[in-house]
């Protein structure tokens, strides 16, 4: 099959002189400025399998659901995660699940998925509720409340409880140091200088990784000794059907990656939802009515039943995908939609591009959560039309966790606060690593009078 494709396929087109971008950096800065404009230009010029200069070499960008599907489903095992992601995010998330491949990935995923069963999620939701209430209690009403940093702190607080079981021996100042260490590791993705040199993002990320490892190793013996409900302890005790378990180093590696995977992604989703609900008060009221009816202590089934909020979350993930692209490296020659891609090529898969294609969505840039409602289901226009969590064997393992966390936090906020955002506001997005609003995303925040809340 692959052999036939190889003989009937065509070579990857050469990059036109005017598309080469800067020396060494290639189109890196164009991506940081406006990824969608870059992708549209590539699609127009080259089609769904486009060459692009990036970090000193020619990468391939897959545009549209057909091309993305080939790499994500990875039928001929030509696409590997580890070499591609570690080039992008450096050695700072080494041996996280997303960076493992093939047999080894399968073994680790089989163990880890037991930390994400419905029963486990129920215990995480129970731990989230008090963390959310405490973490938002000090959100003081203000006309320009900086939503993004507040949400970032909130998701960190939630992680401290749900992932760590409350890092009780760690002071607030130490937790902030840990937070800065995360940020340093995550920001390595946007580093222009990829060497351990003074004053570089790379050096800060190296230091960050050390801080995170020390922090986790400090708690490891206690987590091994007693099985508790937090994710850290679960990872220490999980076994697959054949009795395979994680080593201490595995646990540390997985925890560093999981905290990274969970933190910025949920933060971006929540802050996008705050923006969009602030700009669409009719949806804010609709979601609030459901949350009022549900009451203050929802379980997982209760959160699942927040239908309007679910539509808004899907639409937010479509409009601003927290992970706009995922990367792969070809480990053998392969073919995508009749274009040959040689072994050793970096491949960029672009969910965000699919999310805004007029061929797949009506009025794609409009906020229209109903497009996900049963009678429309625009996301079914193609199996890979909506892929904020990726697809194939590396599909996000935390997607149900993320849904529960985002809904639990929004549910609480809807009951206790209300907010407005100017209809024409568009946050300036920093795309150097995961896309975040660089202005802090101000919202006009008010507390709801207790009398308006249905008690419970």
Tell which phi-psi region holds residue 21, choosing left (phi > 0), alpha (psi between -120 and 50) or beta. Answer: left
Q: Is 266 in the site for ligand HEM (CB under 6 A)?
A: yes
Q: Is 273 in the site for ligand HEM (CB under 6 A)?
A: no
Q: Is 160 in the site for ligand HEM (CB under 6 A)?
A: no
- Smallest separation (angstroms) from ligand HEM to the CB of 228: 17
Q: Which stretch binds ligand HEM (CB under 6 A): 199-207, 237-245, 286-294, 319-327?
A: 319-327
- Smallest separation (angstroms) from ligand HEM to the CB of 200: 25
Binds ligand HEM by CB under 6 A, chosen from 97, 156, 339, 347: 97
- Smallest separation (angstroms) from ligand HEM to the CB of 270: 9
Q: Is 39 in the site for ligand HEM (CB under 6 A)?
A: no
How far is it, in rounded angstroms, from Cα 160 to Cα 259?
9
- Smallest separation (angstroms) from ligand HEM to the CB of 322: 4
Q: Is 127 in the site for ligand HEM (CB under 6 A)?
A: no
- Smallest separation (angstroms) from ligand HEM to the CB of 345: 16
287 marked as part of a ligand binding site? no
How far is it, in rounded angstroms, from Cα 340 to Cα 336?
7
Residue nearer to ligand HEM on the CB measure, 68 or 414: 68
The residue whose two tokens read 């395979």 is 244
Burial 333-368 (b: 16+ CB within 10 A, else e): ebbbeebbbeeebbbbbbbbbbbbbeebbeebeebb
How far is it, in rounded angstroms, from Cα 159 to Cα 263?
8
- Smallest separation (angstroms) from ligand HEM to the CB of 16: 29
Q: Which stretch binds ligand HEM (CB under 6 A): 128-136, 182-190, 191-199, 395-403?
A: 395-403
Residue 104 exposed, middle or buried by CB count within 10 Å (0-12, 13-18, 19+): exposed
Q: Is 384 in the site for ligand HEM (CB under 6 A)?
A: no
Q: Which stretch binds ligand HEM (CB under 6 A): 265-273, 334-342, 376-384, 414-422?
A: 265-273
Q: Is 389 in the site for ligand HEM (CB under 6 A)?
A: yes
Helix (H) or strand (E) holding 364: none
Residue nearest to ligand HEM according to CB distances in the complex? 398
Q: Which stretch binds ligand HEM (CB under 6 A): 192-200, 233-241, 259-267, 417-425?
A: 259-267
Identify the CA nearest to 101 among candidates 320, 361, 449, 394: 394
- Smallest separation (angstroms) from ligand HEM to the CB of 293: 25
Q: At 222, list the tokens.
A: 């206690």
How far is it, in rounded angstroms, from Cα 98 to Cα 115?
16
Identify the CA nearest to 63 among candidates 84, 100, 27, 35: 35
Binds ligand HEM by CB under 6 A, chosen from 42, 252, 258, 300: 258
- Smallest separation (angstroms) from ligand HEM to the CB of 389: 5
Q: At 187, list the tokens.
A: 């920001």
Angle at 201 between CA 22 and CA 87, to 5 degrees: 65
Q: At 380, list the tokens.
A: 């079914």
Residue nearer to ligand HEM on the CB measure, 81 or 291: 81
Site string (99-118) toward ligand HEM, x via CB under 6 A? ----------x---------
- Smallest separation (angstroms) from ligand HEM to the CB of 393: 6
Identify the CA nearest to 388 among candidates 297, 307, 305, 325: 325
Q: Is 322 in the site for ligand HEM (CB under 6 A)?
A: yes
Q: Is 397 in the site for ligand HEM (CB under 6 A)?
A: yes
Residue nearer to ligand HEM on the CB measure, 51 or 322: 322
Q: Is 323 in the site for ligand HEM (CB under 6 A)?
A: yes
Query: In the 8-state DSSP scheme, what is residue 96?
Result: -
Q: At 133, list the tokens.
A: 């209430």
By rule CB under 6 A, what count of residues binds ligand HEM? Answer: 22
For 157-206, give the DSSP string: HHHHHHTTS--TTS-HHHHHHHHHHHHHHHHGGG-S--S--TTSHHHHHH
How far is it, in rounded angstroms, from Cα 311 to Cα 445?
23
Point out the annotated binding site for heme: 396
Binding site for ligand HEM (CB under 6 A): 81, 97-98, 109, 258, 261-262, 265-266, 269, 322-323, 326, 388-390, 394, 396-398, 401-402
């Amino acid at each position: 099959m692959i052999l036939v494709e190889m003989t009937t396929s065509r070579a990857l087109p050469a990059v036109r002189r005017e598309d080469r971008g800067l020396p060494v950096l290639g189109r890196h800065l164009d991506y940081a400025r406006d990824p969608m404009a870059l992708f549209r230009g590539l699609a127009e010029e080259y089609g769904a399998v486009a060459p692009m200069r990036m970090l000193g070499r020619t990468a391939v960008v897959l545009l549209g659901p057909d091309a993305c599907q080939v790499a994500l489903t990875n039928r001929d095992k030509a696409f590997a995660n580890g070499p591609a992601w570690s080039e992008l995010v450096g050695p700072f998330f080494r041996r996280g699940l997303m960076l493992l491949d093939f047999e080894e990935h399968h073994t680790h995923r089989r163990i880890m998925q037991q930390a994400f069963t419905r029963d486990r999620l129920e215990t995480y939701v129970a731990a989230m509720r008090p963390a959310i209430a405490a973490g938002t209690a000090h959100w003081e009403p203000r006309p320009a409340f900086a939503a993004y940093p507040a949400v970032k702190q909130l998701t960190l607080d939630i992680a401290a409880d749900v992932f760590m079981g409350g890092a009780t021996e760690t002071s607030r100042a130490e937790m902030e140091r840990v937070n800065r260490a995360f940020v340093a590791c995550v920001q390595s993705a946007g580093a222009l200088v990829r060497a351990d040199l003074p004053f570089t993002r790379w050096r800060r990320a190296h230091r960050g990784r050390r801080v995170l490892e020390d922090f986790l190793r400090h708690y490891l013996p206690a987590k091994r000794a007693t099985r508790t409900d937090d994710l850290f302890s679960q990872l220490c005790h999980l076994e697959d059907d054949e009795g395979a378990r994680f080593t201490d180093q595995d646990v540390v590696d997985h925890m560093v990656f999981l905290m990274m995977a969970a933190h910025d992604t949920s933060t971006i989703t929540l802050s996008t939802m705050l923006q969009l609900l602030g700009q669409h008060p009719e949806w804010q009221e609709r979601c609030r009515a459901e949350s009022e009816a549900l009451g203050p202590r929802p379980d997982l089934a209760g959160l699942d039943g927040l239908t309007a909020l679910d539509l808004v979350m899907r639409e937010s993930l479509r409009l601003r995908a927290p992970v706009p692209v995922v990367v792969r490296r070809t480990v053998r020659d392969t073919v995508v939609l009749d274009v040959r891609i040689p072994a050793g090529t970096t491949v960029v898969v672009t969910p965000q591009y699919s999310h805004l294609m007029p061929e797949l969505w009506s009025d794609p840039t409009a906020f229209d959560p109903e497009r996900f409602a049963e009678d429309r289901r625009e996301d079914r226009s193609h199996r890979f039309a909506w892929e904020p969590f990726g697809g194939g064997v590396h599909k996000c393992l935390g997607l149900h966790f993320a849904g529960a966390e985002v809904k639990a936090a929004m549910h609480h906020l809807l009951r206790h606060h209300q907010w407005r955002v100017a209809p024409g506001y568009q946050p300036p997005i920093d795309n150097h690593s995961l896309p975040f609003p660089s202005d802090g995303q101000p919202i006009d925040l008010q507390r709801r009078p207790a009398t308006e809340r249905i008690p419970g």
